Each structure stands twice: as C-alpha cells, then as structure tokens.
Amino acid sequence: MSAPRPARLAAPAVLADGRGLSGGMLRQLFIGQCMVLALHLAWMPAWLVALALAVAGYRLVQLRRRLPRAGILLRLAAVGGLVLALWLQFGTLGTMDGLVGLLLGVYLLKLLETHDRRDARVVVVIGLVTTAVAFLHDQGIPMAAGALLAVAWLLQSLVWLSGATGLRQAWRETAWLLALSAPLMAVLFVAFPRLGPLWSMPQMDRASTGLTDEISPGDIAELSRSDARAFRARFEGREPAPDERYWRVYTLSHFDGIRWSRATPDQLAVALERPGDAFVREGSRSPWQAQDGARFSAELLLEPDSRPWRPSLGTPLESDSRQRYLADGTLEGLTPLSSRSLLRLSSSGAPPVNPDPAGERWHRLLPDDTNPRTRTLAERLWRESGGDPDAYLEAMMARFGEAPYRYTLSPPRLVGEHRVDDFLFDSQAGYCTYYASAAAVMARMAGIPARVVAGFLGGERHPDGHFTIRDYDAHAWVEVWREGAWRRLDPTAVIAPERIEQGPQAVDGGAETFLADARFSPLRMREVGWVNHLRLEWERLEYRWQRGVIGYQRESRRSLMAQLVGWWREVWARLDALLPGRGAMTTALGLMAMLVVAAGLVLLARRGWQHHRRQRDERWLVGSLQAWLARHGLAAHAGESPAAHLRRIAPQAGPAGRALEECARDLERLAYAPLEEAERRQRRRRLSHRVAEVRRRLPRQRRGPSGAGA
C-alpha cells in the first residue's frame, strides 16, 4: 500500500526571519484589496483598478528579483499623482466622492511600504474601514453581502498574520470570530439604532430622480426613458385608486413665455415684500390645512437626493417629524437626504383649499408679447362661454380631447419663441408638460389664477401591498383657483386616459421611447411571467430590507420594545390565570424567582472573584494547564518541572508550540527573576493570555478523551 499523501497546506504567512512577508501573504492582502475595491467601483473611477494592479505588479517584481524597497521619493510621487488624478476627476477633494477616493487610493498605495507583519495589520485595518465606508454609497442587500465576504477575507488575513499554518485552521478561526460577534452585533443593532451624523455625509449634487423645479414642454418626456426609483409607499388603511395617485412635489407659478419655474418662499418674500413665514412654516402639522381632512396615511421610503423635496399624495397634512410646509401645498424636508429614509405622512389626496399668500394677481401674470395665436383662441373661447369661467375651462379641456391633438412620448421638438402657439396650432402632439403648460397659459389669459404642478402619477403596486414610483411616472398637471379652493385639471386624462389608468407604457406609439435609457431593465420583460415574478420577489425582499433593517430608527426600537413588554405581560397574565390562588401564588413565584436570580448573581460573583485571584497566581495557571494537557495525552513525566514539561511538548503541539515556549519562559522569569511589581503583573497577564492561546490552538486531533491522538 502506498503511503498516505500529506495534507496540503497553504503557503506560510511570513518568511523565515519571522517578520518579512512572503509572496503568499502579499497575495492575500492584494486579493483583499480587490474585494474592497469592488464594493466601490460603481461610484469610483475605474482607473483605481489600474492603480491596484500597478502596485501589486511592482511588489511582485520587487520580491522575485530582490530589489530594494520603494524609496520615499517614489511613495511621495505616488501620493501626489493620486491627489492630482482625484482632483482632475472630481474637481475638488472636498466632496464625499473625493474623500472616499483618497481613502481608497491610500489603501492601495499602502502595499508599496508593507514589508512586515505590523504593516500588514495596518493594511487590513484600513481595509476594514474602507469596507464600512462603502455603505455611504449604498446600503442594499448586494452591498451587505459583498461587505460580509470582504470582512471575512480580511479577518482571515489577520488570522494568517497571527500564526495560522493551514488554510482550514485559518477559515475555522475566522468563522469562529464571526460567529462570536454575531450575537453582539444583533444586540447592538436592536439597542442602538444607526446614528444620523454617521450616515449624513454630504452627497453634493447627487439626485435620485430627474424631476426638477422648472419645466418646459418636453422635459418630463425625457424621464419616461429611465426606470430609476424615486420612492416607495405603503398605505395604512384605504389605498388610492389609479386616478387618485397624484403625488405633488413642486408648484410652478412663474412663467417666462417658455419655461415654468418654482418661486421659492424666500424669492416670494423678497418680490412681494412679505415676511417669510407667510409662505413657509416648520413643524409636524400643516398650518394651512384642517387636520380632519386626511384621507390617506402612508409610509414613504425615500431615495437619497441632494434636494429637500418630499412627495405627498395631494396636500400634506401631518408628518412624524418636523418638515417645511409650504403655503402652495407642497412639502420640503429640513435637509436633503443623504441616504434612504422613512417618512410617515397623512395627506388629503386633493389640491389645497387655502388661498396662496402670493395672491391671485401673481397667478395671472403672463408675458405680454408671447403666444399671440393662443391669446386670440382664449378670447374666442371666453366669448363663446359667455364669460363664465367654468364654461370656459370646460371648453378648453374639450378642445384638447378633439382631433388632431394626440398624446405621444416622442413629441417634436419646439424651439421657437412662441412655443405654446407652436404646440396648439402646428405640432398638436405632445406629452403631459405640453398640455399642462398650454392649459395654464390659456387659463391665465382668461384671468383665472392658474399654476402648474410637477410630480408623479401612478406607481406600480406590488403583491405585498407597497407601491414603487419611478422616474417614468413623472407627470405635470394644472391647478386653477375656483370658488375658494384650488381645483385640479389634467388635460392628459382627456386626451390619453390610458396614461392615468395604466402608466406611460400604455400610450400608443411609445414603445420605442419608454425605458429607452434602461436597455437591460427587467421591467422590459414584465410580460414574461417567471421573470416578472422573480423581479417582484426581489423588490419585495429589498423593500423589507430597506424598511426593516436600514430604516430601523428610534421609533422602530420603541415599537419592538413595546411588543416585547406586551408579550411578557400577556405570558404573565396567562400564567397567573392558570395557577391556583392567583395573587398569593404569583407573589410566591415572584419572590422565588428573585431569590434564584440573586443566588445566581452571588454565585457568579464568587466564581468570578476566585477566577480573578487564581489568574494572579502563576502556579495555579500553569498547574491547570498541565492538568488540561494531561487529559489530552500530553502529561508530564515523573520529576519533570513545569517549564521543562512545556518545552518538551512544544514541538508536538503544532500551532500552540510557540505559546508553550513563551509560557515556560514567563514562568521561569516569575519564579526566579527579581522583577518589579509592575513587570510581575504584566508577566502574569501575559502568561494568562498564553495559557488561553494554548487551549485554543492545540491541534484538534490531540483533543480526544483518552489522548489517543498523541
């Protein structure tokens, strides 16, 4: 029979001198760098990959040809080049992307001067920090899974640096460390929700949706090309019907003849010489609306955005946190969102009922010398309606529903000075902004206060009940002031009712434009049953992750604690009802439980004190270690001293051999050397650590009950 093949071990972590790193350890560190870099590549420049390969290649050539180490000039030049490249990439190093890129670059360049175990540990620690920083970009499930793999690899590198001799042992100890940390992680997660400042790094100009606070005909049509997610919503109680899902974001009241734009409260206060609080108030309730008009209560999961807008289904009424309530019926946050955030909001589902403090005259303003053909049409319709505003608006809306007007996702481009004229009389084809802009202009030409509202319409309902609103759901409509309240007019509902009921994908002739910028979007395969099912399941899982894990805040912690307390009270009440005597028995059980707990605490304190005193006795420490070794087949010989015993078995103990040698040396120093009290305490503490290391590192085959493995 042939001899059994020896177990295959990985390359040693360190070279023969005990300090210099081998090629195997450098490869281990480089793989860790690649895993960490992969977490950032979706947001960081791709040339960082070339930097990582260049540094690793240089170290490989240096190791094989035994070249001298990288000098100070080379390292300074590398850092200077990194800073210059990042400055050219981002324009500044003051943004989050610039700072993260600098951290990544320094992490990669650190391999140039990594030559011993201390340097390698620094590389691993920087890698752990850089892994945590990746969550500033994204906190989804793929990022969490990738970060877990990177952390496991980095911890394995630390185990190699601590003296692991085999791949199996390294991964076993890594798994043990992760398993030990999991309960603590769960407790910290439940007891200490994520801190706001840690996750509020400035995102600068990063926006989650293309919706802006100024539009001209055709702008929103571009959003139909994108499937980017704007926000998600879950309703408590009644859900809105498709024709009720008007999510208002911006109120656009200024028209320059081409574009509709939003006048901010500060701009209105200056232009109209009014105090700022006449247009905006901070709080958790709207001061402009009656709170008894709430029809919908929703929990919104908002995407990160550099702008402070907050969507609301109709007019916002009340929120679970302080917000900025604007008099025009829109809502703003106090700060932009740097990460996904939850907002609970109740709303009316209808336009505002309060008059705008800017006044009716502000909402009638139009440039005098624009769109003359539209003005002539408005005058004719006004005469035909007998000067009745309601009849005029009805005639205006009916005109949009007549041929040859048509609704399209790819309308002809308008570039002239009189764009409303060009649309109404020449192209007669457009998207929601075309019709909303024309309707608002015609209303103002008749002296009716009007404004354009930009937001979203619709949203995809998932089987678990939550709605996803995306870029292609962007929409614009009109509000006119009639009989003491704002009234919604949506020309799209007249000319393309399928857009209201089914979304922009249902518009005739829009297949080529819809999702044109998202060629590989799974939404393109909604007609394939199993693909659509997988997509919905993944979005459901991701929504629950974002809402339950990432969105875990103080309110969630209070709710969880309240549930636990309620569960305990329910169990206690049932136990009290089942036991005879009830009150007396409950008191007796309570006293007994208190006595048991007190006795257990006293016993634990006594054992802890005894253990603490024994840890200060080197003879007890070594004696307990020798007894433990004897139970595992490594007993002392007759007349053999403890130090000699430990030195004799060290060569047989595998990875625990070095710790046994150090135990013997520390024991002799404590027994015979004239040590100061401070050094003696340090030696005892070190001896205790080495004893624990021996118990942990002794090879598994020696741990049989009879010591047969020896």
Q: Do both 162 and 246 map to the same domain? A: no
pLDDT the model gives residue 510: 53
Q: Do both 261 and 408 map to the same domain? A: yes
Q: What is the mean pLDDT of residues 97-114?
A: 90
490 counts as catalytic: yes
Q: What is the mean pLDDT of residues 234-260?
A: 90
pLDDT the model gives residue 674: 81
Q: Do both 244 and 312 map to the same domain? A: yes
Q: Do both 367 and 222 map to the same domain? A: yes
Q: What is the mean pLDDT of residues 682-689?
A: 81
pLDDT the model gives residue 9: 38
Q: Report residue 2's pLDDT band, with 50, 70 and 90 as the boundaries.
A: very low
Question: Does residue 557 belong to any structural domain of this protein?
Answer: no
Q: Report residue 384's pLDDT band, with 50, 70 and 90 as the boundaries.
A: very high
Q: Do both 160 and 223 map to the same domain? A: no
pLDDT at residue 11 above 70? no
Give per-residue burial for 531-549: e unless 16+ CB within 10 Å, then b: eeeebbeebeeebeebbee
The model carries a pTM of: 0.68
Question: Does residue 316 belong to any structural domain of this protein?
Answer: yes
Least trusted range by pLDDT, from 19-23, 99-103, 232-236: 19-23
Least trusted range by pLDDT, from 188-192, 205-209, 263-267, 474-478: 205-209
pLDDT the model gives residue 673: 81
Q: Do both 174 and 246 map to the same domain? A: no
pLDDT at residue 671 above 60? yes
pLDDT the model gives residue 612: 61
Domain end, chosen from 499, 526, 553, is at 526
pLDDT the model gives residue 126: 94
pLDDT the model gives residue 681: 79
pLDDT the model gives residue 707: 35
pLDDT the model gives residue 514: 61
Least trusted range by pLDDT, from 30-34, 235-239, 403-407: 403-407
Least trusted range by pLDDT, from 82-96, 363-377, 378-392, 687-701: 687-701
Alpha carbons 249 and 310: distance in angstroms, whole number: 6
Question: Does residue 139 belong to any structural domain of this protein?
Answer: yes
Question: Does residue 667 belong to any structural domain of this protein?
Answer: yes
Closest of 473, 478, 470, 231 to residue 333, by C-alpha? 231
In sequence order, which residues have a C-beta less than 8 Å from that of residue 544 and are 6 or more positions away?
Answer: none
Please give the helix or strand (H or E) that residue 444 lies within, else none: helix 432-445
pLDDT the model gives residue 702: 45
pLDDT the model gives residue 456: 92
Closest of 79, 140, 141, 67 to residue 104, by C-alpha? 79
pLDDT at residue 489 above 90? yes
Q: Report residue 339's pLDDT band, with 50, 70 and 90 as the boundaries.
A: confident
Preceding omega of 404 cis (within 30 degrees of 0): yes
Q: Do both 325 and 469 map to the same domain? A: yes
pLDDT at residue 446 above 90? yes
Task: Render pLDDT for 142-161 as a digit per residue (tens, 0 to 9).
Answer: 999 999 999 999 999 998 88
Measure CA 680 to chain center.
50
Total structural domains within the chain = 3
Least trusted range by pLDDT, from 98-112, 212-226, 335-349: 212-226
Q: What is the mean pLDDT of residues 254-266?
A: 89
pLDDT the model gives residue 705: 37
Q: Do both 299 and 176 map to the same domain? A: no
As a whole number, the mean pLDDT across the chain is: 81
Q: Do both 352 and 425 map to the same domain? A: yes
pLDDT the model gives residue 689: 81
Q: 478 by DSSP, 3-state: which?
A: strand
Catalytic residue among 475, 632, 645, 663: 475
Catalytic residue among 138, 219, 490, 666: 490
Q: Do both 253 and 152 map to the same domain? A: no
Catalytic residue among 219, 305, 421, 432: 432
Question: Does residue 52 belong to any structural domain of this protein?
Answer: yes
Q: What is the mean pLDDT of residues 364-381?
A: 91
Least trusted range by pLDDT, from 36-50, 350-364, 619-633: 619-633
pLDDT the model gives residue 218: 54
Q: Report residue 97's pLDDT band, with 50, 70 and 90 as the boundaries.
A: confident
Say how many C-beta atoms besides its own lie within 10 A of residue 281's C-beta.
17
pLDDT the model gives residue 235: 92
DSSP symbol at 14: B
Domain end, chosen from 526, 542, 575, is at 526
pLDDT at residue 200 above 90? no
In sequence order, which residues have a C-beta less than 8 Å from that of residue 513 and are 6 or more positions away?
Answer: 221, 224, 225, 409, 410
Alpha carbons 482 and 324: distance in angstroms, whole number: 26
Question: Does residue 112 belong to any structural domain of this protein?
Answer: yes
Alpha carbons 471 and 209: distance in angstroms, whole number: 6
Question: Does residue 574 belong to any structural domain of this protein?
Answer: no
Domain end, chosen from 126, 159, 191, is at 191
pLDDT at residue 37 above 90? yes
Q: Do both 172 and 228 map to the same domain? A: no
Question: Does residue 327 belong to any structural domain of this protein?
Answer: yes
Query: Tokens in use for 636?
Result: 């002392």
**Boundaries of domain holding 30:** 7-191
Query: Tokens in use for 227?
Result: 């499937």
pLDDT the model gives residue 518: 59
Alpha carbons 630 and 350: distance in angstroms, whole number: 82
Q: Do both 186 and 260 map to the same domain? A: no
Q: Report residue 478's pLDDT band, with 50, 70 and 90 as the boundaries.
A: very high
- Which own/partner pairs from 483-488 qualify as long-range (CB within 8 Å, at least 24 positions apart)? 484/353, 484/355, 485/351, 485/352, 485/353, 486/329, 486/351, 486/352, 486/353, 487/351, 488/246, 488/350, 488/351, 488/453
Give per-residue burial for 77-112: e unless 16+ CB within 10 Å, then b: ebeeebbebbeeebeeeebbbbbbbbebbebbbbbb
Q: Report residue 5's pLDDT band, with 50, 70 and 90 as the boundaries.
A: very low
Cβ pair 203, 338 in contact under 8 A = yes
